[in-house]
């Protein structure tokens, strides 16, 4: 059975699809049995592709992106092993819709997996910024990947 991970941000066009693409790339490279997707806490962009600046940042770094935005639904908690929020506001929103303690425990912050993150675990929203803001988000996402992949490998061994 695959390990299932989803990333959640606000509108599902910037941060979470970026994290989805990066994890999918690394999981595929390692041959890990992982299903990866993403969604948003809001419905503003449902059906839209990832932001052009997200796609450009990913391409510059050698990643691919094929994405259609969607909104996270409470019924999906049972589907995932790990639900990764991109900032504390997303984590609070997800925990508030969780159907119980077991579901709430699946919600983590992506930057928890970056040992250099310190106490600021939020990935900033680049939507109102420019290229440098999107590149910074990509750097933060990539910095969390080694720790996240360790977590996934451990989860696959338990299953």
Counting residues of the chain whose pLDDT is more than 70, the rounded percentage is: 99
Q: Locate the domains of the chain by residue range.
A: 3-158
Tens digits of per-residue pLDDT, 121-153? 999 999 999 999 999 999 999 999 999 999 999
State mean pLDDT over 23-42. 98
Q: What is the mean pLDDT of the chain?
A: 97
Contact 71, 42 (CB under 8 A): yes
| Assessment of whether the complete model's pTM goes beyond 0.75 | yes
Residues annotated as part of the active site: 9, 15, 125
Q: Which CATH architecture has domain 3-158?
A: 3-Layer(aba) Sandwich (3.40)
Tens digits of per-residue pLDDT, 95-118? 999 999 999 999 999 999 999 999
Assign residue 108 a region (left: φ > 0; alpha: ψ between -120 and 50; beta: otherwise).
Answer: beta
Alpha carbon separation from 138 to 38, 83, 110 (Å, rounded): 15, 19, 12
The pLDDT value given to residue 159: 64
The pLDDT value given to residue 158: 79
């Amino acid at each position: 059975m695959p390990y299932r991970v989803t990333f959640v941000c606000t509108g599902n066009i910037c941060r979470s699809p970026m994290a989805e693409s990066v994890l999918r790339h690394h999981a595929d490279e390692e041959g890990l049995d992982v299903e990866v997707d993403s969604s948003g806490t809001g419905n503003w962009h449902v059906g839209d592709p990832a932001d052009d600046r997200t796609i450009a940042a990913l391409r510059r770094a050698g990643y691919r992106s094929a994405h259609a935005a969607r909104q996270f639904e409470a019924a999906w908690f049972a589907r995932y092993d790990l639900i990764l929020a991109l900032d504390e506001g997303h984590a609070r929103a997800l925990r508030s819709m969780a159907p119980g303690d077991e579901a709430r425990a699946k919600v983590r912050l992506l930057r928890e997996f970056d040992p250099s993150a310190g106490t600021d675990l939020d990935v900033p929203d680049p939507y109102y910024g420019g290229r440098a803001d999107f590149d910074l988000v990509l750097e933060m996402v990539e910095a969390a990947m080694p720790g996240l992949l360790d977590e996934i490998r451990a989860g696959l061994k338990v299953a």
